[in-house]
């Protein structure tokens, strides 16, 4: 990407804390061709339409070389593992996703997430109890990170004590997703691929254990139970496990942290949430619109010439869908830059749309609802220590690296 | 007249009557209040209960998963209305602006919304229809009765008519482990709504799930025992079936009889209205104060040659009600058209079916994604070189793309390269709809443009 283009500025770390004015500028050209051949789509209706367009592929194997002759970077490429269903097109995608859904959601497990309510509440309460006696906490390290990690470990059947081992791999893999890293992309890619392979190896061992002694977790179900589509192959199972583990790690953290930050910037809404926990449901939806944890999808490829809003995206072009920008499109949302949990019409792009619609959405929603409600209820007089807080490097999975918050003790747990 | 005009005065002090207390009536009432109507609002409904949702009646309710009285429609807001439930409207006086009710009372209005919907087409012979064991499925009470009977474990259920309702009933019966025979006049299930190509897929689906599907056949008589219980059904091929339960699924009839003689353009095909939901009178003149919404309305649509469409679709009922309500309390220039692209869904035999556009208008069909053999596919319908409709089986997340194709009058056959392209490529074939002159179960979209049988007035052109 040529430095100086709007897209470059958006991915530039210097603008991480507030990319929204840049998105507003980008929307003036709904489909903006970058110098390197990338097409950035930034307006709501155009993004939404492309997310349902079968002419747009998620499979990196459909990419053609860029203007400079290089292929766009892809962290999953050349790995010893095949791509996860996130990076596949139908019909392979559909089959893999159906298999992954069997032990997770409807129609086979319609209540699985709902039934986790008590368990999630206990985890959140325990983490907040751990802040007792302190006057300041880092919402990321003390709360928003450990919580989803515990949840995804329990759900998948990954021993929580191994967390330290796969934390490093997860970090490296996610860095590889950074489309515009400060260091050389090649080195990042290499590290990310190696991490993915090592994590895969770790999970392969784990899957073998679950196959021998199945529990009530997803890995056990995926390894032992067959449906109409049969079972996943060993390699498919490993890539799916890597995907779920990473996604469980890296997105909800940002949703909860962005949520805490936004609430502390809007104390009147924090007060309302404290008084009415029912507000958590629309509040989390508004957060997904206003500060989505996944800001953009930089990995689609046009399979045909596609006319979008009067611009022709040529076959083979890389397409970036700027979800966070679409979420603030004033042609779609009235007063789009205002954080308003009372918004009635809120069909945001926070979880994407179409066949790749976030697999973990029901879980992410519940985690964020419980986490934010309990934080609001129990932290007495919370306030931001730094605004803006320091952000993580990644512009795709955007969120604060630390969120120091001061408070006057804890309210009692129910 | 107030300084801010008659529309504003009406918003404050007008009298609105909504006839029909189901999905469209309720959503219209909510929209009226939402948009600031503070006058009096009367809701008239012939059923004794408050508005409820019908799609679950042939699905979750028949599976015993949801009680029939557990499908109350969620309320968007309080509507502060006077409810006249359990009493049907029986007449309309356009001059005096009054609705006559079955209990002899009358309700005066300034503006009226007609949302009386449809009812199940009954079995044509009363004595047979009255047999114990013969059911229709339209209301919550119907569903409760049928669910009780299915739970009692009948030896065999006969479903007459393989449209969406009939197919969903058959699916629920199989899921409950009941033996079921489906008798369909047409050559395949769903053939009136989706054509023969898709009908063949639906037929395979039914047979694979153990349905005794018999097509190109009619039920000639239902026979009871001396106690008046259904025992046997006679078919047009000369065979007979021992059955305890028969579900009549022959489509819907529009509830317009109460408007006979009112001077409105109302008949068996519904109440004609303009794109702004204003009813036409029998002369084709648009009325000012009578509005229509939901299954009972038929309105012209520019995407479909300005033919009048009547839609038995959930989403249409909601969208049309919102437009009608908005227009009822808005001055002329602020009114909006209701230009809904028809869309509906069904769930049967474990498959999610969705459709957009007007499939029965299609001459050809082409599978564009997936495959018919795999029962997971998207297919587009073509009419005069453009895409006019689409259907998906377990491919619902692509449906928006096809809706956009229809809205853009995209060329047919579709020429795009996309994901999940059928291995043999995109090949159009005849959509194979039965001759519309032959009766079958009705489609859920009815095209009702000019028809000589509709002409009841003598045309006498003015002399120069």
Give the three-state DSSP class for A15. Answer: helix
Contact B441, B166 (CB under 8 A): yes
Angle at B407 between CA B401 and CA B410, to 5 degrees: 75
Q: Do A52 and B400 touch (CB under 8 A)?
A: yes
Cα–Cα nearest to A14, from A395, A387, A325: A395
- A382, A407 Cβ separation under 8 angstroms: yes
**Shortest CA gap B435–chain A (Å):** 33
- Tell me if A49 and B398 make a contact (CB, 8 A cut-off): no
Whole-Å CA distances, B152 to A70, B133, B178 = 69, 12, 10
Cα B69 from Cα B142, distance rounded (Å): 11
Distances in whole angstroms, Cα of residue A335 to Cα of each of A296, A346, B68: 21, 12, 42
Mean pLDDT of chain B: 92
Instruction: Enter the pTM of the model.
Output: 0.91
Q: Do A55 and B417 touch (CB under 8 A)?
A: yes
- How large is the angle between the packed helices A44-51 and B399-407, nearest 10 degrees? 120
Write down the residue that tokens 């909510």 correspond to.
B30
Dihedral pair phi/psi, residue B449, rounded to 5°: -75, -155
**pLDDT attached to residue A196:** 85
Residues from chain A that touch B369, judged by Cβ atoms under 8 A, are 54, 90
Q: How confident is the model at residue B452 (pLDDT cuts 50, 70, 90)?
A: very low
**What is the C-alpha to C-alpha distance for residues A40 and A395, in angstroms, rounded to an integer?**
14
- Would you say A154 and A234 are in contact if contact means Cβ atoms under 8 Å apart? no
Dihedral over Cα of A133, A138, A139, A145: its sign: negative
C-alpha to C-alpha distances, B269 to A184, B92, B312, nearest whole angstrom: 69, 18, 12
Rounded percentage of chain A residues whose pLDDT exceeds 70: 93
Give the one of A54, A59, A89 whose C-beta lies nearest to B401's C-beta.
Answer: A54
Structure tokens at A217: 């977790």
Q: Residue A294 pairs with which residues in a beta bridge? A: A397
Sheet holding B386-393, edge to edge: B343-348, B351-357, B386-393, B376-383, B364-371, B429-430
Among candidates A49, A89, A353 on the partner chain, residue whose Cβ is nearest the Cβ of B419: A89
A354 touches chain B (CB under 8 A): yes
Radius of gyration of chain A (CA): 21
Check if A91 contacts B (Cβ < 8 Å).
Answer: yes
A315 touches chain B (CB under 8 A): yes
Contacts of A52 in chain B (CB under 8 A): 397-401, 404
Residue A36 has pLDDT above 90, yes or no: no
Angle at which helices A252-265 and A146-156 pack, to 10 degrees? 150
d(CA B174, CA B179): 7
pLDDT tens for B58-98 read 999 999 999 999 999 999 999 999 999 999 999 999 999 99
Closest-CA residue to A139 (of A252, A253, A289): A253
Closest CA to A265 of A317, A337, A326: A337
Q: How confident is the model at residue B2 (pLDDT cuts 50, 70, 90)?
A: very low
Q: Determine whether the interchain pair A49/B418 forms a contact, defined as Cβ–Cβ distance below 8 Å.
A: no
E strand or H helix at B15:
strand B15-19
Q: How far apart are CA B369 and CA B371, in angstroms?
A: 7
Number of residue pairs across A and B with CB atoms under 8 Å? 54
From the list A48, A49, A54, the residue facing B418 with the nearest CB is A54
A141/A399 Cα distance (integer angstroms):
13
Contact B397 A91 (CB under 8 A): no
Q: If pLDDT is split at 50, 70 and 90, which confidence band does A27 have?
A: very high
Q: Does A274 touch chain B (CB under 8 A)?
A: no
For residues B244 and B238, what is the distance between their CA atoms, to the nearest angstrom? 19
* A54 and B426 Cβ atoms separated by less than 8 Å: no
Sign, CA torsion B41/B44/B49/B50: negative
Q: How far is B88 from chain A (nearest CA, A)?
A: 34
Mean pLDDT of A120-132: 97
- The DSSP line for B46-99 is SSSS--B-SGGGGTTTTTTSS-GGG-BPPPSS----EEEET--EEEEETTTTEE
B464: pLDDT confidence band, cut at 50, 70 and 90?
very low
Q: Is the pLDDT of residue A248 over 90?
A: no
Residue B326 and residue B31 in contact, taking contact as beta carbons nearer than 8 Å: yes
Q: State the DSSP string of B420-464.
A: T--TT----EE--PPPTTS--SPPSEEE----GGG--S---PPP-
User: Would you say B419 and B369 are in contact if contact means Cβ atoms under 8 Å apart?
Assistant: yes
Q: From the CA of A296, how many Å to the nearest CA of chain B?
A: 20
pLDDT range class, residue B447, cuts 50, 70, 90: low
Chain B neighbors of A53, CB-CB under 8 A: 401, 418
Contact B401/A48, CB-based, under 8 Å?
A: no
Summarised one tens digit per residue, pLDDT across range B179-213 is 999 999 999 999 999 999 999 999 999 999 999 99
Partners of B374 on chain A (C-beta within 8 Å) are: 91
Chain B residues within 8 A of A353 when measuring between CB atoms: 397
Distances (CA, A) of A98 to A47, A240, B138, B223: 25, 12, 34, 47
Rounded distance, CA B298 to CA B273, Å?
6
- Residue whose C-alpha is closest to residue B400's, from A355, A57, A49: A49
Asked whether B328 and B24 are in contact (CB, 8 A), the reply is: no
Helices A280-290 & A252-265 angle (0-180, nearest 10): 100
Tell me the C-alpha distance between A373 and A276, whole Å.
9
Measuring CA to CA, how many Å separate A223 from each of A1, A106, A240? 42, 19, 11
Q: Are A383 and A406 in contact (CB under 8 A)?
A: yes
Cβ–Cβ gap B398/A304 under 8 Å: no
Mean pLDDT for B256-269 is 92
d(C-alpha A370, C-alpha B79), whole Å = 32
Grade residue A135 by pLDDT with cuts at 50, 70 and 90: very high
| B398 with A91: Cβ contact below 8 A | no
Angstroms from B77 CA to nearest CA on chain A: 12
- pLDDT for B453 equals 39
- B455 pLDDT band, cuts 50/70/90, is very low
**Token pair listed for A234:** 């060993």
pLDDT band at B451 (very low <50, low <70, confident <90, very high): very low
Say yes or no for a CB contact (<8 Å) between A303 and B419: yes
| Residue in B419, B421, B423, B426 to test binding to A, most A beta-carbons within 10 Å | B419
Alpha-carbon torsion B336, B116, B346, B356, what sign? negative
pLDDT band at B457 (very low <50, low <70, confident <90, very high): very low
Determine contact: A61 vs chain B, CB below 8 A.
no
Q: Kindly report the nearest CA distance between residue A307 and chain B, in angstroms.
A: 12
Under an 8 A CB cutoff, do B397 and A49 touch? no
Residue in chain A closest to B404 (alpha carbons) equals A49
A90 in reach of chain B (CB within 8 A): yes
Q: Is B321 helix (H, G, I), strand (E, B) or coil?
A: helix
Measured CA distances, B463 to B457, B460 (Å):
18, 9
In chain B, what residues touch A303 (CB-CB under 8 Å)? 417-419
A54/B368 CB distance under 8 A: yes
A91 contacts B370? CB cut-off 8 A: yes
> What is the rounded distance in angstroms from the CA atom of residue B19 to the CA atom of residue B99?
9
- Are A382 and A142 in contact, with CB atoms under 8 Å apart? no
CA–CA separation, B180 vs B207, rounded Å? 11
Q: Does A316 touch chain B (CB under 8 A)?
A: no
CB contact B417 to A (< 8 Å): yes
With contact defined as beta carbons under 8 Å apart, do A367 and A150 qualify?
Answer: no
pLDDT digits 0-9 by tens, A64-102: 766 566 655 555 555 567 788 999 999 999 999 999 999
pLDDT tens figures, B293-338: 999 999 998 888 888 999 999 999 999 999 999 999 999 899 999 9
Could you say which of A48, A304, A357 has the minimum Cβ distance to residue B417? A304
- The CA distance from A161 to the nearest CA of chain B, in Å, is 39
Burial (CB < 10 A; 0-12, 13-18, 19+), residue A48, is buried
- HSE, CB side, 13 Å, CA atoms: give it for residue A34: 25
Return the structure tokens found at B322.
């919102």
Specify the length of chain B in residues.
464
pLDDT for A249-272, tens place per residue?
Answer: 789 999 999 999 999 999 999 999
């Amino acid at each position: 990407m040529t430095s100086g283009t709007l897209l470059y500025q958006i991915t530039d770390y210097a603008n991480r804390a507030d990319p929204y004015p840049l998105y507003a500028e980008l929307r003036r050209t709904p489909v903006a061709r970058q110098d390197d051949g990338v097409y950035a789509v930034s307006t709501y209706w155009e993004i939404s339409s492309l997310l349902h367009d079968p002419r747009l592929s998620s499979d990196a194997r459909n990419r053609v070389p860029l203007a400079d002759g290089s292929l766009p970077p892809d962290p999953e490429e050349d790995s010893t593992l095949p791509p996860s269903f996130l990076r596949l097109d139908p019909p392979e995608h559909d089959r893999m996703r159906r298999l992954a859904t069997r032990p997770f959601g409807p129609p086979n497990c319609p209540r699985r997430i709902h039934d986790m309510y008590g368990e999630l509440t206990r985890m959140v309460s325990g983490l907040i109890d751990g802040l007792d006696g302190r006057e300041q906490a880092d919402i990321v390290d003390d709360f928003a990170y450990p919580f989803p990690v515990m949840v995804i470990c329990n759900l998948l059947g990954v021993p929580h004590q191994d967390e330290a081992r796969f934390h490093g791999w997860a970090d490296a893999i996610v860095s590889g997703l950074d489309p515009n890293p400060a260091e050389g992309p090649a080195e990042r890619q290499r590290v990310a691929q190696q991490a993915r392979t090592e994590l895969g190896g770790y999970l392969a061992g784990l899957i073998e254990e679950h196959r021998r002694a199945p529990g009530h977790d997803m890995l056990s179900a995926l390894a032992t139970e067959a449906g109409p589509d049969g079972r996943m192959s060993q390699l498919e199972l490993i890539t799916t496990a890597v995907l779920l583990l990473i996604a469980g790690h890296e997105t909800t953290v940002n949703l909860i942290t962005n949520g805490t930050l936004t609430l502390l910037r809007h104390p009147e809404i924090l007060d309302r949430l404290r008084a009415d926990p029912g507000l958590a449901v629309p509040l989390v939806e508004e957060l997904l619109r206003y500060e989505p944890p996944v800001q953009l999808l930089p990995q689609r490829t046009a399979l045909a010439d596609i006319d979008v809003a009067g611009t022709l995206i040529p076959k083979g072009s890389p397409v970036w869908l700027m979800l966070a920008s679409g979420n603030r499109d004033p042609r779609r949302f009235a007063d789009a830059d205002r954080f308003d949990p009372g918004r009635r019409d809120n069909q945001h792009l926070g979880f994407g749309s179409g066949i790749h619609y976030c697999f973990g959405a029901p879980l992410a929603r519940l985690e964020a609802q419980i986490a934010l409600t309990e934080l609001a209820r129990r932290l007495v007089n919370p306030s931001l220590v730094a605004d803006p807080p320091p952000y993580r490097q990644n512009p795709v999975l955007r969120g604060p690296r630390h969120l120091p918050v001061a408070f006057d003790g804890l309210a009692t747990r129910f | 007249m107030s300084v801010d005009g008659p529309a504003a005065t009406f918003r404050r002090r007008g009298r609105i009557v909504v006839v029909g207390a189901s999905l469209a009536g309720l959503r219209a009432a909510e929209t009226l209040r939402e948009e600031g109507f503070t006058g009096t609002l009367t809701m008239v409904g012939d059923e004794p209960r408050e508005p409820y949702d019908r799609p679950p009646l042939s699905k979750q309710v028949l599976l015993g998963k949801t009680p029939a009285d557990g499908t109350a429609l969620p309320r968007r807001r309080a509507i502060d209305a006077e409810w006249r439930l359990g009493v049907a409207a029986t007449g309309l006086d356009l001059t005096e602006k009054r609705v006559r009710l079955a209990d002899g009372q009358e309700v005066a209005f300034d503006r009226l919304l007609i949302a009386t919907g449809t009812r199940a087409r009954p079995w044509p012979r009363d004595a047979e229809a009255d047999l114990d064991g013969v059911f229709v499925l339209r209301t919550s009470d119907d569903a409760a009765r049928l669910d009780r009977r299915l739970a009692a474990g009948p030896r065999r259920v006969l479903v007459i008519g393989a449209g969406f309702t009939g197919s969903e009933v058959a699916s629920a019966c199989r899921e409950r482990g009941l033996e079921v025979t489906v008798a369909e006049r047409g050559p395949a299930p769903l053939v009136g709504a989706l054509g023969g190509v898709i009908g063949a897929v639906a037929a395979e689906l039914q047979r694979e799930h153990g349905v005794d599907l018999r097509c190109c056949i009619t039920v000639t008589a239902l026979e009871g025992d001396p106690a008046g219980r259904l025992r046997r059904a006679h078919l047009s091929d000369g065979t007979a079936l021992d059955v305890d339960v028969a579900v009549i699924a022959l489509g819907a009839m529009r509830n317009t009889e109460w408007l006979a003689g009112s001077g409105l353009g109302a008949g068996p095909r519904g109440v004609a209205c303009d794109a702004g939901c204003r009813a036409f009178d029998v002369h084709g003149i648009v009325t000012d104060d009578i509005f229509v919404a939901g299954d009972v309305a038929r309105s012209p649509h520019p995407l479909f040659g300005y033919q009048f469409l009547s839609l038995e679709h959930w989403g249409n009922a909601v969208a049309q009600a919102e437009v009608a309500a908005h227009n009822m309390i808005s001055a002329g220039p602020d009114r909006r058209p209701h230009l809904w692209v028809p869309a509906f869904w069904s769930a049967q035999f474990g498959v999610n079916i969705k459709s957009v556009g007007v499939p029965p208008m299609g001459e050809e069909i082409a599978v564009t994604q997936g495959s018919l053999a795999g029962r997971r596919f998207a297919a587009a319908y073509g009419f005069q070189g453009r895409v006019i409709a689409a259907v998906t089986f377990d491919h619902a997340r692509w449906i928006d793309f096809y809706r956009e194709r229809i809205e853009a009058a995209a060329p047919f056959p579709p020429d795009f390269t996309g994901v999940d392209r059928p291995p043999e490529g995109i090949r159009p074939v005849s959509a194979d709809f039965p001759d519309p002159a032959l009766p079958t179960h009705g489609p859920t979209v009815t095209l009702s443009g000019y028809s000589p049988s509709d002409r009841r007035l003598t045309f006498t052109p003015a002399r120069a």
